[in-house]
Structure 1
Amino acid sequence: MSSNDRQMNGQPRPNCFLDHLELPPARKDKQRLARLRAAWKASWEEGGFLYQRWEELYQARHASWHELAAWIKTAALFGGLSLIVMMVDTAGDIASAALKGLNDVPATSAGDGSGLWGTVDHPVRAFLADQAAHLAVAPAALYAFWQLTGLLGLVGGFFGNAGARIAWLLFGIGSLAMIWTAAPIGGRAAATGLAALMWALASIFALRGLTLRPIVHNHPPQYQFNPALHLHATLPAPAPAGDDLGPDNVHPLQR
């Protein structure tokens, strides 16, 4: 056994120092980072994964829905559904808070019914208070909801919303019915007529631009009809050249 294989301090000397050498952690991290950087650059080169995705996203501006890439459609649908769910959840919370607030509105006095507005407003308050006695809701909440419906119908109808205009029409019809029912018998017709005039004046703004005349669209026809008469005549075939001299049985006279 050579001197290189002898024991030193009771421990055998390794045959090769490089066999037991380990790279430090810093060098491993650098190698891993270098591989990641090389993969990132390769993905952005022409034909790479990220390069193709970016081209599909760039071309999506001028493409129709059927021409979009599948991953863009999936992302758009997922984002749209998530937005709808969030909006519905938020709208539910808002509606719940609004209804709870209307239910907690303190009762207000019905007023004495004096003045033009009191002539219209007092029967509505009296009707809602009488109906609320049979319902699990406060009269003030019904009155606040009635006011909110009229306000939304007026504002939404001014901006041309069809649903708001339908709500405005139902609001007016319901208000006239409540006034006719709860107004004093002697002034019932006057109170209802006054309310109808007020509602008609407010409808100038709520039903702005609405017309009952039919809309006629004059568009040129997309096709043109040209009648034509086609005659098909069959011409006889031309006769042979020998037939011009007559039949063959005619011979010249001979002496």
Structure 2
Amino acid sequence: MQSNDQTHGQNRQELTHLPVPSPKPPPKEPRFAALRAWWDTAWKEDGVLQNMWGDVLSAPDAGIRHMAPWIRAVLMVAGVSLAVLMAQAAGEVALEMLHQLLTAVPKVQVGADTSHGVFAVVDQPVRTYIAQHSAGLPVEGSTVYTLWLLTGIVGLVLGYLSRNNGVRAMWAAHGAATLWMVWTTTPDTSRPVAAGLTVLAWTFLSTFAMRGLTLRRRMVAERPANVSVRPEIHVHVPAPAAPADQHNGCPFKD
């Protein structure tokens, strides 16, 4: 007799409609796992960091010549960077001191008759020229006049002491600029005399600034050639003669 109990079938149908659980995702690797693995490998025997640490420890005993190349490169970069920073700081200090020196000079009455004698023939036209052409500059005329004086003094002194061609070129440019200012500012009636006195003064001072300068080509004394003499005796040894054929050139024996 068939049972009317369908509870088991209903439960089976209900189980077929239940959601299937999704598979669990794989566990995530801990953060920075690759970095930690590389770190552990680098500190092992013959690892990168292990070898570098050995180079650092052996650097004091090895010296500059025999230390690892990467340590020398690091030291070189650090030294160059330090030198650049020191040069920059020294340049800023020098520029600040120069600015204070130029701004602390007394107010020169540019364009006024403040000089006397023969020096006034050159000085007064220079003052007048600077006063006329320094109105739109960010510096005062007295500062420009002080720079003109300093340039001439530096060119004269360093040209006498160092005999450097660059310093002599600066001295020549200073003299040409001075002559141009005198020629431009002096009245027409006295312009040739003022220019002539300026050239004479510059020529006289050039005997000190251009000391040792010559247009002749320097001839270097001939030096004895450094020849090393090696006495050697060459004996000609003739090559041994070929043995005579015992069978008069016959390749076969009797």
| TM-score (structure 1 length as normaliser) | 0.56
1:22-171 mapped onto 2 (5 Å cutoff): 50=57, 52-57=58-63, 60=64, 69-70=68-69, 71-99=71-99, 101-102=101-102, 105-109=105-109, 110-111=112-113, 114-160=116-162, 161-171=164-174
- TM-superposed deviation, 1:85: 2.4
Greater shift, 170-179 or 108-117, is seen at 108-117
Supply the RMSD in Å over aligned alpha carbons: 3.6
**CA shift digits 1:56-98 (9 cap, x unpaired):** 33xx5xx6xxx77532453244223312222123213422552
Aligned partner of residue 209 in structure 1, secondary structure = coil
Instruction: Structure 2: state its 5+ residue gaps.
Output: 1-53, 228-244, 249-254
Taking a change above 3 Å as real, the CA distance of residues 69 and 154 of structure 1, as seen in their structure-2 partners, is farther
Distance (Å, rounded) in 2 between the aligned partners of 1:141 and 1:48? 57
Contact 2:157 2:209 survives alignment (8 Å): yes
3-state SS in 1 of match to 2:189: coil
Instruction: Find 2:194's aligned residue among 191, 195, 206.
Output: 191
**Structure 1, residues 131-152: CA drift from partner, whole Å, max 9, x if none?**
0124343211110111111122
- Return the offset for 1:113: 5.2
Query: Which letter maps to 2:62?
Result: E
- Structure 1 residues 27-47: Cα deviation after superposition (integer angstroms, max 9, x where no partner): xxxxxxxxxxxxxxxxxxxx9
How far apart are residue 158 of structure 1 and its match? 2.3
Query: Contact 1:183/1:191 (CA < 8 Å) preserved in 2?
Result: yes
Larger displacement relative to structure 2 (112-121 or 90-99): 90-99
Shift of 1:202: 1.7
Partner Cα distance (1:186, 1:173) in 2: 21
Structure 1 unmatched ranges of 5 or more: 1-46, 224-239, 244-255
Percent identity for Structure 1 against Structure 2 = 31
Q: How many residues align?
A: 178
CA distance in 2, matches of 1:136, 1:81: 34
* SS state at 1:179 partner: helix
Instruction: Report the residue type matching 1:185 in the other structure.
Output: D
Counterpart for residue 182 of structure 2: 179
What is the deviation of 1:101? 4.9
> Mean Cα displacement is larger for which, 91-100 or 111-120?
91-100
Aligned partner letter, 1:180: W
Name the CA shift for 1:202/1:68 in 2 (closer, same or farther; >3 Å): farther
User: Quick one: structure 1 residues 166 and 48, their matched pair in 2 at CA, closer, same or farther if it must change by over 3 Å?
Assistant: closer
Relative to 1, partners in 2 of residues 1:165 and 1:116: Cα closer, same or farther, differing over 3 Å? Answer: same
Residues of 2 paired with 1:68 and 1:100: CA distance? 48
- Residues 112 and 140 (structure 1 numbering): CA distance in 2 closer, same or farther, change over 3 Å? closer
SS of 2:118 mapped into structure 1 = helix
Q: Does 1:205 align with 2:211?
A: no
Task: Return the TM-score normalized by structure 2.
Answer: 0.56
Q: Which of 101-110 and 184-193 deviates more?
A: 101-110
Pairwise CA distance, 1:181:
0.7
